[in-house]
Amino acid sequence: MKPLGSAALMLAALLALTGCSEVKSGFEQGKREGMIEVLGAAAIAEAAGIPVSGDLTCTVQPPTGGDDTPVSCTGRTTNGKVITLTGTITEAAEVTRSDWMRGDFTATVAGAELFRRNCIGAC
């Protein structure tokens, strides 16, 4: 078998790095989605004084630049009022902690603004 030339080695390294980068990005996006569903529901329930019925349904977009991750969530309170949570996640706790997220978040219940925060969870 013939040894790989330097160009082939560089291409192989680039492909490996690209693959790892995509996996890391996908993992980070999934982590942020799960965290915002749980932490967002808890923050809304606490601020509104009304529990969230089931889970929030959140869509976390790929980062727009750096670590800024747009997020949009919907759900309902136990008494049927529509909940929205929108914003941008800029930083999230390590997966072993998963107890806070920083960014710019706005929550509404039945169309009325409930809160604007720059951190959700144990900040």
Six-digit token pair at 107? 């929550």
* pTM of the predicted protein model: 0.76
Predicted confidence at residue 20, as pLDDT, reads 60
In order along the chain (123 residues), what is the average pLDDT of each group of 10 residues?
44 48 66 90 93 92 80 95 95 87 96 96 91
